[in-house]
Amino acid sequence: MSPDAQKVKITYREAMRQAIRDALIRDQRVFLMGEDVGAYGGCYAVSKGLLEEFGPDRIRDTPLSESAFVGAGIGAAMNGMRPIVEIMTVNFSLLALDQIVNNAATILHMSGGQINIPLVIRMTTGAGRQLAAQHSHSLEGWYAHIPGIKVLAPATLEDARGMLWTALEDPDPVLIFEHGTLYNMEGEMAVDAGAVEISKAAVRRAGTDVSLITYGGTLGKTIQAAEQLAASGVDAEVVDLRTLRPLDTESILDSVMRTHRAVVIDEGWRSGSISAEISARIMEGAFYELDLPVERICSAEVPMPYARHLEEAALPQASTIVATVTRMMGGHG
């Protein structure tokens, strides 16, 4: 992309749709399959209009059979296709956990490297829309526990537009987690935006005082917090992990070695979480560089409540990030 490349106003939803459409045009082996992806237009309207353009073979509505259609995606990938399987929310993906964990993640290794599974599974994750405890959880950290799959969390328009194609070109199964509050996010994106690499974290805001490490739906809140901190003289660096498995440990450590302070912000629960993993890696790789213990800001350990004030209290917020960093800087500023 050239610096003066033409830009367009676009939403995250539209960027994702462009990515799917682009993949369908580029490769005849690609098809989209899931609940209400066709006639309904996608439960979050991501695939709106694609059925009319590509027809029911390639925009394939499925019955409410998560395990069967996710497994069918795996089988189709083993048999030469490049399926994109959509699951409505991460909570529903638990109905397909057998296929994802016992098949998609294992078959390459279990077959001694003979059989690849070039499959992409997309799903919505996260809270913030008052959808309560069966539509709001952030379980991507769980999936990041599993060797054999890759876990992506696009948090920007460019990543929504660009990660899918790279994921489809990957010979291994890739899970893409789209935070539900991002679909309406609007901004400017280069008209020629395309594939992006999916193995590196990105520094979204450079800073020198503290590393705020996050991904997905909490990136916006973290940047907001960093701006507020800047107003009070604290220069925070914001690291967007982008990929939760494999974790880009190098970029995390690189940032922490410069700032000597780290806060991990994760919408998942704290116990046994990806935030715990990141904290452990910082401890293993940069312990003597730290001025302070690593801090974590996670969701409260409770199933997500419905009432707005309770949901907000359960989630990481910009104000919590600001308060935590201010406290950290207070002692060692």
Partner 1 sequence: MALQPTIATPNLDAGHAIALLRDMVRIRRFEEKAAELYSASKIRGFLHLYIGEEAVAVGAMRALRPEDAVVATYREHGHALLRGVSADSIMAEMYGKQEGCSRGRGGSMHLFDAATRFYGGNAIVGGGLPLAIGFALADKLQHRQRVTACFFGDGAVAEGEFHECMNLAALWKLPVLLCCENNLYAMGTALKRAQSQTDLSLKAAAYEIASWPVDGMDVVACEEAAQRAALAVRSGEGPCFLEFRTYRFRAHSMYDPQLYRDKREVEEWKKRDPIATFQNRLTTQGVLDDANMKRIEDEVASEIEKAIAFAESGTWEPIEDLTRFAYSGEKPT
By annotation, the residues acting in catalysis are: 66, 135
C-alpha distances (whole Å) from 159 to each of 153, 227, 255 are 8, 22, 21
CB of 2 to partner 1, least distance (A): 31
- The site map against partner 1 for 198-217 (x = CB under 8 A) is -x------------------
Stretch that binds partner 1, among 46-54, 104-112, 175-183, 299-307 (CB under 8 A): 104-112
Out of 80, 233, 330, 333, name the contact with partner 1 by CB under 8 A. Answer: 80
> How many Cα atoms are found within 13 Å in the side-chain-facing hemisphere of 95?
14
The verdict on 54 binding partner 1 (CB under 8 A) reads: no
Out of 2, 3, 4, 147, name the contact with partner 1 by CB under 8 A. Answer: 147
In three-state secondary structure terms, 205 is strand
Q: Which is nearer to partner 1, 249 or 317 (CB)?
A: 249
CB contact at 8 A, 260 and 289: yes
Stretch that binds partner 1, among 12-20, 71-79, 128-136, 285-293 (CB under 8 A): 71-79
> Which residue type, as a one-letter code, is found at position 135?
H
Stretch that binds partner 1, among 16-24, 100-108, 156-164, 309-317 (CB under 8 A): 100-108
Stretch that binds partner 1, among 12-20, 107-115, 222-230, 283-291 (CB under 8 A): 107-115
The verdict on 172 binding partner 1 (CB under 8 A) reads: yes
**Residue at token pair 């077959």:** 111
**Residue at token pair 């901190």:** 229
Q: Which is nearer to partner 1, 119 or 190 (CB)?
A: 119
Asked if residue 246 has a cis previous peptide bond (ω within 30° of 0), the answer is yes
The verdict on 273 binding partner 1 (CB under 8 A) reads: no
C-alpha distances (whole Å) from 302 to each of 145, 277, 306 are 21, 20, 12
The verdict on 31 binding partner 1 (CB under 8 A) reads: yes
CB contact at 8 A, 279 and 287: no
Out of 43, 75, 260, 326, name the contact with partner 1 by CB under 8 A. Answer: 75
Out of 130, 224, 249, 317, name the contact with partner 1 by CB under 8 A. Answer: 249
CB contact at 8 A, 32 and 176: no
Q: Which is nearer to partner 1, 117 or 157 (CB)?
A: 117
145-149: long-range contacts, CB 8 A cutoff, minimum separation 24: 146/100, 146/101, 146/105, 146/245, 147/105, 148/104, 148/105, 148/106, 148/108, 148/109, 148/172, 148/173, 149/100, 149/104, 149/105, 149/173, 149/174, 149/175, 149/245
Q: Which is nearer to partner 1, 60 or 135 (CB)?
A: 60
Q: What is the CA radius of gyration of the chain?
A: 20
The verdict on 67 binding partner 1 (CB under 8 A) reads: yes
Which chain residues interact with partner 1 by CB under 8 A? 31, 57, 62-63, 65, 67-81, 83, 98-99, 102-103, 107-116, 147-148, 150, 171-172, 199, 245-247, 249
